[in-house]
Amino acid sequence: MRLSEITNYLESIAPLNYQEDYDNSGLIVGDPNMEIRAALVALDCIESIVDEAISTGCNLIITHHPIVFKGLKKLNGKNYVERVVLKAIKNNIALYAIHTNLDSIHTGVNARICERLGLTGTKVLSPKTGLLKKLVTFCPQAQAEQLRSALFYAGAGNIANYSECSFNADGFGTFKGNEDSDPFVGEKGVRHREPEVRIEMVYPTQAERKILVALFENHPYEEVAYDIYKLENKHQLVGAGMMGWLEYDMDAYDFLHLVKDRMQAKVVRHTDVIGKRIKKVAVCGGSGSFLLREAIAAGADAFITADYKYHEFFDAEEKIIIADIGHFETEQFTSNLLVEIIQKKFTNFAIRLTEQNTNPINYLF
């Protein structure tokens, strides 16, 4: 199978434009046209992971964390990042990362945390803006249904849990073609009035090319009239963090023990329990302190995340319980999620889950 088949599928699940500005998700090393024999999945791409790929015959490594975050000015092996890249190139191994774009989707990293904690009624904690546009076009009434169906098939008209969403208003359009025109209705040189439908649909920005192709191929007019608007609406299924509800409210200490057990955490650093019982929970895999205000505003009783600094714990101000369980611990089940995603599409593809624990942090008890 070609590398591009795998990466295109992953990017259909977690589009690259969903990643944060600082991130470097996507194909880091490799030719999209290269043939892939087998893939190794891990949380981090370190030298021992490349060695594992070599020993198991995998020529693709898919990780959550990108090995390259910033531009490399030299490749002389002076640090582990350069050594990983050099070893991958030398052994013709492709490196692919699916990081904050996987964090952002409602079926991604945070959904897996919610699943392990038994949370229900989950939704994105901080939905993203700037990911949606609106298409408005005008079509003769007789051809409107065919055009709508084509646009739906191309990916337009999806809003949260609903598909094939559109707004339609009847009116009429006027036009007069010159001598070089070839009008679908009417005559050259004569103003024509045609009953038309104004069709409006919302669509994700990454689907724009496919949607415009469908528009031009299925609209009957020689010159298609259409408008595209950028929307500031929040995309309710894409964003940072998630929140959900426990089946029953719990004593705070019992809940923290549940988190430690379900997330297989060595240590839970937390703020005062402030006499709260826990029912509504916010989560964020990896470094999530930037979401504290959203978690409090959403009415969460507890916020599960990682990488909290000392002074940031004071920001809870007895409004919420912050529980820092460790970066690796919040994301350690992401590799299993990726294997499941890939196997669902490519049932006969050879994919391996790493046997290594790449957590660079050790604990002394």
| 235 assigned binding-site residue | no
| 65 assigned binding-site residue | yes
**Closest by alpha carbon to 103, among 292, 240, 263?**
240
Contact 39, 350 (CB under 8 A): yes
Contact 174, 192 (CB under 8 A): yes
**Closest by alpha carbon to 20, among 284, 207, 267?**
284
Q: What angle in degrees, to the nearest 10, is found between the helix axes of 144-154 and 208-218?
A: 160
| 64 assigned binding-site residue | yes
Annotation: binding site? 64-65, 103, 327, 331
Annotation: binding site for a divalent metal cation? 64-65, 103, 327, 331
